Amino acid sequence: MTNAEVIAASDVGAVLSWARDRGVPITASVADRDYWRNLRSQLLAYDPAEESFRILYPLVMDGGAPPDIAAGAELGVSFRQGHKKIVFVGKVVGRATHLCAGGERVDALIVKAPRQIQRLQRRAYQRTIVPDDRRIIVKLWQAGPPDDGTTTWPLCTGRLANISLGGILLDAPRDQNPRLSVGDCAGVEIRPAPSRPPLIAVVQYRHCIAIGSDRIGLGLQFLGMEHHQSGRASLAEMAAFVKSLRMSDRPGYSN
């Protein structure tokens, strides 16, 4: 069984109706100027005739004022459905005042329903430990990946200690500590093998831990993985990489 399953357009409505009926909490990602923001919200309504849904105007997860999300912005949306995770990108149509069942009026974003969505195995979000004898090189880039047209430079290079679809732990020499602040954005370049192209993604710095007398672990959260961007690893590619690492730990497996 694969970690990622594409749900056809004919079944998208059923998934969104399920989420509407339960008022499920969602996580939304949006580009705010030069940075990605992760936001917490709730699905309020789904209109199959208009092929759109409404979400509570997002509450900020990473501090600061809510971004001004204008019509035309692409919103990465994810929420849980049982033991799986639903992920897709929808385009913002506009804002409206939404009347809740209890009579309360709230500010809402109207988002166009996607043509297709992905359903991910929740185990893809569980940490996979990389064996010490397997060296997967990771390079951390200032401000963002080196291929997005911005001025950037490498901050440090180390090995992949663990990974999930949520993020990675980068094992780096202590003397290469980039001294990032929590919430800072950067780019990562993961080299699965010398002969394979790298997986490139945007990350947000979350924490730093000591993992030895001369080593540190940098906790980095993936941002904007729902969005399809040229030069960046897709969610399906990253899920396949996580699965391959998990499978490689099984006896008798050969890659």
What is the average pLDDT value for the chain, to the nearest integer?
86
Tokens representing 17? 């109706």
Tell me the domain boundaries of the chain.
4-122, 126-248
- pTM equals 0.73
Encode pLDDT of 239-250 as tens digits: 888 888 887 765
Encode pLDDT of 44-61 as tens digits: 999 999 999 999 988 777
Taken as a whole, the chain contains a residue count of 255
CATH class of the 4-122 domain in this structure:
mainly beta
CATH class of the 126-248 domain in this structure:
mainly beta
Q: Which residues contact 92 (CB under 8 A, 6 or more apart)?
A: 69, 70, 71, 72, 73, 74, 75, 109, 110, 111, 112
Helix, strand, or coil here: 123?
Answer: helix
Q: What is the pLDDT of residue 219?
A: 95
CA distance 70 to 219: 31
Each residue of 178-204: b (16+ CB within 10 Å) or e?
bebeeeebbbbbbbbeeeeebbbbbbb
pLDDT surpasses 90 at 208: yes
- 8 Å CB contact between 105 and 156: no
